[in-house]
Amino acid sequence: MAFRRPRRNLNRPRPKLDLRKTLFVLPNLITLGSVFCGFNAIRLVSKDQPAEIDVYRAAVLLIFAMLFDMMDGRVARMTKTQSAFGLQLDSLADIVSFGVAPALLVYKWVLHRAPIPGILTSFLFVSCAAIRLARFNVLSSSSSGAPSKPGKYILGLPSPPAAGILISLMVANHGVGGALGDERYTLLLFCVTIALGLLMVSSVRFRSFKELKLNTATLLFVLFTIGSSVFVWQQFKPQFVLIWLLSMYVFIGLVETLRVLGRRLRGLDERNSVPPVPH
């Protein structure tokens, strides 16, 4: 007796493709692209004596990691696929691409001239990035664990701009033909790395630019940003544009925080200066 294979039920409906589940993968793939850039940058500079071109390529890879980091959140909001999983994955990606990788990059570039202080300074940057990301996850998650709606301000300097300043300094140094490990930059890089690390864990508020409205102030700000970038491009070199943009971002955060602090101090002085009401 021959074995008969069961007939397929041709009338049985085929399973439909869940587009939402498919779109859920897209922002996470972009985040993993940032992890790949950070991992490859670490690979390039993890040699005992990396060549100058390797350090430069690592810096360029981290710039691409910044672009991926800008894209994943926006793609998630556009496709309405924000999730607690994506929030945690993004933080893990940031600690690799904007914590460990730039700290190792700046150590191999200049800070290795003072080995012990250089290692401690690089580790300080990584530690502050980890603390900043953990605090961000706690503040941006609701009690149910789902990510809350992004606000107008972010507490502490985000790790991508902090790493971006170190990266842009390396790219600008390569653009002007500076040598790897130039002794003139040692003290400057120590101060900048420490300052950026402390800003990440500070209470300074920085704009998220996620709730921009089309008005006169926004238009003037965009025109100023474009015009100033063109000026820096022409007067110096294209590699200095990124330094200018990121430094302006940090400067705006510091000015707005000082303004808020000044208002609070004035309000406190006014309350203290009001004479008591007689009974």
Contact 144, 233 (CB under 8 A): no
Domain that holds residue 144: 24-211
Let me know if residue 94 belongs to a domain: yes
Q: Residue 240: which of 170, 182, 190, 185 has the closest Cα?
A: 170
Let me know if residue 172 belongs to a domain: yes
Question: For the purposes of burial, counting CB atoms within 10 Å of the CB of 10, is it exposed (0-12), middle (13-18) or buried (19 or more)?
Answer: exposed
Q: Name the domain count of the chain.
A: 1
pTM of the predicted protein model: 0.82
Q: Extract the tokens encoding 4.
A: 């008969």
Rg (CA), the chain: 24
Question: Percent of the chain beyond pLDDT 70?
Answer: 80
Question: For position 53, which CATH number holds?
Answer: 1.20.120.1760
Let me know if residue 171 belongs to a domain: yes
pLDDT-derived band at 64 (thresholds 50, 70, 90) equals very high
Max avg pLDDT among 68-77, 125-134, 269-278: 125-134
Q: Residue 261: which of 201, 174, 203, 184 has the closest Cα?
A: 203
Let me know if residue 242 belongs to a domain: no
Let me know if residue 127 belongs to a domain: yes
Let me know if residue 269 belongs to a domain: no
Q: What are phi and psi of 21, to 5 degrees?
A: -65, -35
C-alpha torsion angle, residues 72, 151, 155, 126 (rounded to 10): -10
Indicate if the pLDDT at residue 218 is higher than 80. no
pLDDT of residue 279: 47
Contact 95, 129 (CB under 8 A): yes
For 233-257, the pLDDT digits (tens) are 888 878 888 889 999 999 988 988 8
Let me know if residue 79 belongs to a domain: yes
Q: Residue 94: which of 67, 129, 145, 60 has the closest Cα?
A: 129
Average pLDDT rounded to a whole number, residues 124-146 = 82
Let me know if residue 8 belongs to a domain: no
